[in-house]
Amino acid sequence: MKETIPPGFKSGFVAIAGAPNVGKSTLLNQILGEKISITSRKPQTTRNRILGVLHRTGSQIVFIDTPGVHHARRPLNVRIVETAIAALGDVDLVLFMIDASANDVSSEAQILKQLDKTGCSAVLVLNKIDKIAKYRLLDLMETWSSRYPFKALVPVSAKTGEQVDVLVDTLQAHLPEGPPFFPDDQLTDLSERFIVAEMIREKVFRLTGAEIPYATAVTIESFTDEPKRPLITIHATIHVERRSQKGIIIGKRGTKLRQIGTEARRAIEGLLNVQVFLKLFVRVDKNWSQDSRMLRRFGYL
C-alpha cells in the first residue's frame, strides 16, 4: 500500500559547501545526531561527497557534505575540489559555511564565483560563533549580506549545537514541496565498508602529524561476518606514498599502528553495534596521489 504524503511535505537536496576546516562535517553529524562524516583538526579531511538524510515530521532534507574548496595543484586535491564544485550544480539549496572566527577567507571566492555563475539559492552559515564577540559577528553578517543575495544568514556553533535547530528550520522553509527521496529508516547512501574505511582514515589524521595524513588512503580488503558468533572480521590496508611514511604509521615496535587500530576498532564497533576484529596492514604505493590509476582505484576518480 502506497504511503500517503502529508499536505505541504517538503523535500530537497542541500549541499554543504565551504573552505577546508570550517566545520562542514561536524555540522552534518550534529544535524543527523549520528557520525557518518569523519572529522579532524586538519584541513581537507573530507575527500568524497558524503550524503546524509534528515527525517522530520514535515520534511526530508538530504544533505551533501562536500570536500573543502581550496586552491589546488596536486591531482588528488584538484579532484577533491572538482567534487565539491560539482555538488553545487544540482541541488535545491546551498548551505555556504564560513568560519566566523577566521581572518583569511580567500578560498570562499571560488564558491561565490560558482554561486554567481549558477544563481543557486543559498543560505549563509557563520560557524564557530562560540569563538567570537557578538559585535564582530554582526559586522560579518552585514559584510556578507552584500556579497550575494542569500536567502538567510544563520550564525551557529556546529561543535556545541547552538542555533543548529534554527538553521534546520530555515533550510526547511526554503525547500520545495515534494515526496521523500529515501525510506524513513535510511540515514545515508554510503556502504558500511566505505564508512569503516573513513573511520580508519580519521584515526590516521588524528594520530599522525605533518604530511602523513595527506599521503594516506585506506582500502577494505575483507569484511566478514563470523557465522558462529556476533563478530565481524575486517582486514584493511593503509596506503602511503613512501617507505619513511610507512615507518611512521607503524611506529616504534608497532605502537602507532596498534593505537590507530584500537581507536578505529572502537569507533567501528559503535557504528556496527557488534564486536569487531580489525587487522591493519600498511603498504607503500609510490606517489599514489599523483597516479590517475591509483586515484581511480581508491575512488577519487
* pLDDT values of the chain reduced to their tens digit, one per residue, 301 residues: 355 677 899 999 999 988 888 999 999 999 999 888 877 777 677 667 788 999 998 999 999 888 766 565 666 766 666 766 776 778 899 999 999 988 766 667 878 888 888 888 999 999 999 999 888 899 999 999 999 999 999 999 999 999 999 999 999 999 999 999 999 889 998 889 999 999 999 999 999 987 788 889 999 999 999 888 889 999 999 999 999 999 999 999 999 999 999 999 999 999 889 999 999 999 999 999 888 899 888 887 6
Q: 3-class SS at 221?
A: strand
Q: Where are the domains of the chain?
A: 10-173, 192-297
Per CATH, which fold does 10-173 belong to?
A: Rossmann fold (3.40.50)
CATH number of 192-297: 3.30.300.20
Is 182 buried (19+), middle (13-18) or exposed (0-12) by CB count in 10 A? middle
46: how many CB neighbours lie within 10 A of its CB? 25
Q: What pLDDT score was predicted for residue 106?
A: 65
Closest CA to 113 of 165, 50, 64, 69: 69
Q: Are 48 and 54 in contact (CB under 8 A)?
A: no
Q: Is the pTM of this model over 0.75?
A: yes
Residue 77, pLDDT score: 64
Helix, strand or coil for residue 52?
Answer: strand
Grid coordinates representing 260?
590507530
